[in-house]
């Protein structure tokens, strides 16, 4: 019995530990602070280990761990929020289309500003996005999940993933542009 538990723990450690940093970064982006991110990571690994024995071997462990974290986040951290924020995506899209930033050339901005903006500036711009957009951008552009995996993770059709990714990137670009203006890297 003890050997079986040791073997299971070793296997879990071998499969899960390599994803600790990406999971922590995801938790930090979701919770917004290091203490909550650490707690979410601990909760994720605790729940993941609990169910690891029942998991089918050959599973995409990275995706599975991110999914465990997603549900841990939803169960623990959303309960703390007394108000559920519902994003009206159509209103957000109209708002950004009417702004002067809607004609921003992303490639031009990237060439001129990427080196000037700090990691904190980029992280703040990403953190300010509505959660449904932020999660998809993180999973696609940072963690490099496929559209199919993201659709499965957030439980929406792949077309919705593509749409949110497109709109989320536009919102992120707008946030970065505003930050660059505020810091004087570009003129208003």
Q: In angstroms, what CA-CA distances link 111 with 48, 106, 115, 143, 187?
A: 41, 9, 8, 23, 16
The number of beta carbons lying within 10 Å of the beta carbon of residue 176 is 23
Q: Which of 90-104, 124-138, 144-158 has the lowest mean pLDDT?
A: 90-104
More confident residue, 89 or 37: 37
Residue 58 pLDDT level (bands cut at 50, 70, 90) = confident
pLDDT computed for residue 34 by the predictor? 93
Going from N- to C-terminal start, the domains of the chain cover: 2-80, 89-182
CATH of domain 2-80: 1.10.1740.10
CB-based contacts of 176: which residues, under 8 Å, 6+ apart?
109, 113, 117, 121, 122, 125
Q: Which of 57-71, 88-102, 142-156 has the lowest mean pLDDT?
A: 88-102
Fold of 89-182: Arc Repressor Mutant, subunit A (1.10.10)
Residue-wise pLDDT tens digits, 64-97: 999 999 988 888 756 665 444 444 555 555 455 4
pLDDT computed for residue 86 by the predictor? 47
């Amino acid at each position: 019995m003890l050997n079986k538990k040791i073997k299971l723990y070793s296997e879990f450690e071998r499969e899960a530990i390599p994803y600790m940093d990406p999971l922590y970064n995801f938790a930090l982006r979701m919770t917004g602070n290091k203490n909550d991110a650490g707690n979410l990571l601990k909760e994720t690994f605790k729940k993941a280990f609990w169910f690891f024995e029942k998991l089918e071997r050959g599973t995409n462990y990275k995706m599975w761990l991110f999914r465990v974290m997603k549900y841990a986040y939803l169960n623990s951290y959303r309960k703390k929020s007394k108000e559920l924020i519902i994003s009206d995506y159509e209103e957000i899209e109209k708002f950004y289309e009417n702004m002067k930033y809607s004609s921003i050339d992303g490639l031009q901005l990237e060439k001129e500003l990427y080196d000037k903006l700090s990691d904190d500036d980029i992280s703040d711009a990403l953190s300010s996005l509505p959660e449904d957009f932020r999660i998809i951008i993180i999973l696609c552009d940072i963690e490099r999940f496929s559209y199919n995996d993201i659709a499965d993770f957030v439980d929406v059709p792949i077309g919705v993933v593509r749409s949110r990714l497109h709109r989320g990137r536009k919102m992120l670009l707008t946030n970065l542009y505003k930050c660059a203006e505020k810091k004087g890297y570009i003129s208003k």
